[in-house]
Amino acid sequence: MQQWRADFYNISHIFRDIKQLLRGSTWSSWPSCQQLNQLLPSDVTNVQGQVLTLIEQTPQLLSDGLYYEQRIYQQGLVPTRDANWHDFFNALIYLLFPQTKKEINRLHCEHIDLYGQHKRSKCRDALTLLDECGVLIPYCDPDLADKLQNHQWQEVFVDARHRWGTDIDALVIGHANYEKALAPYIGFTGKALYIKVEQEFFRLNLLEKYQYLDTILAVNLSALMQDNSHLFPLPMLGVPGWWPENEQSEFYDNQHYFRAKRKTNNKNKE
């Protein structure tokens, strides 16, 4: 059993959005599936319209042989391991990105029907990267997005630092990112998906930002996740506000972490 930390919100600034959105929810020990289900609005459903229910993952539950995504798609049940950080954060993503999670599930099951459980399509691989390690980068200045995609870290993280939160931002969607943020380390890297927005986006409150991105992403997910070409490496501890040491510009001199982009025909590789 993994150890619960009631103060996990304070371990890293990466949790600041969760801390703000769930400020009324505190647990002295691991929350049960029942407690987590109480956080989910009643309109969080699967593709069939069934209300999603987090359910403890047991051998009995898995004995019918249904694949994880199929169980969600067919029964509206999300198997959740007890006292497990990975599954705990997955539950919170259902709260933040309900429409996108529904579409991720639909696409997985569509491709399972096409190719079977054991042959993973490029789409399913991309969906898994987004679901586990994804970071959404809303931006209104294409120049900033282009520089970040091309690993011009100094230009965006240092020179344009004052523009974070007004012209570009970062919001976690991959639940494994939150798990890794419990013990941040140099080398911690996410997969960034860039979403063009209007300037007005940055004047929305936090909940409105999540709702906007959730809607836009769900509508466009099928086109974006045909393969992983829309996902770019992002050094997580470099995002302004996400790691105390990055307040010093020298932090970005670590070329083993903030790597130059390789000259390759595949724009998605480091």
Torsion of CA 107, 113, 114, 118, to 10 degrees: 100
Shared-domain flag, residues 159 and 243? yes
In a domain, 14, yes or no: no
What is residue 115's DSSP assignment?
Answer: H
- Which tens digits make up the pLDDT trace of 96-148? 999 999 999 999 999 999 988 777 899 999 999 999 999 999 999 999 999 99
What DSSP assignment string belongs to 228-246? GGGEEEEEGGGSTTS-GGG
With 0-12 / 13-18 / 19 or more C-beta atoms within 10 angstroms meaning exposed / middle / buried, residue 68 is: middle
Shared-domain flag, residues 43 and 105? yes
Q: What pLDDT shows up at residue 1? A: 78
The pair of structure tokens assigned to 22 is 């769930």
Q: What pLDDT shows up at residue 262? A: 83
Looking at 76-169, list the stretches that DSSP marks H as alpha helix, in order from N- to C-terminal side: 85-96, 98-115, 122-133, 142-149, 153
List the domain range (segments joined by +) for residue 62: 30-118
Helix (H, G, I), strand (E, B) or coil at 186: coil
In a domain, 48, yes or no: yes
In a domain, 4, yes or no: no
Shared-domain flag, residues 170 and 249? yes
Shared-domain flag, residues 175 and 67? no
Q: Are 236 and 135 in contact (CB under 8 A)?
A: yes
What is residue 261's DSSP assignment?
Answer: P
Cβ-proximal residues to 87 (8 Å cutoff; 6+ apart), any chain: 57, 80, 81
pTM of the entire predicted model: 0.94
Helix (H, G, I), strand (E, B) or coil at 84: coil
Report the distance separating Cα 158 and Cα 175, nearest Å: 27
In a domain, 18, yes or no: no
In a domain, 264, yes or no: no
φ, ψ (nearest 5 deg) of residue 57: -80, 120
Question: Could you list the pLDDT tens digit for every one of the 270 residues in the chain?
Answer: 799 999 999 999 999 999 988 876 789 999 999 999 999 988 899 999 999 999 999 999 999 989 999 999 999 999 999 999 999 999 999 999 999 999 999 999 999 999 887 778 999 999 999 999 999 999 999 999 999 999 999 999 999 999 999 999 999 999 999 999 999 999 999 999 999 999 999 999 999 999 999 999 999 999 999 999 999 999 999 999 999 999 999 999 999 999 999 876 554 444
Q: Which amino acid is at 165?
A: G
Number of neighbouring beta carbons within 10 Å of residue 184 = 17
Shared-domain flag, residues 97 and 133? no
The structural domain count of the chain equals 2
Report the distance separating Cα 229 and Cα 267, nearest Å: 7
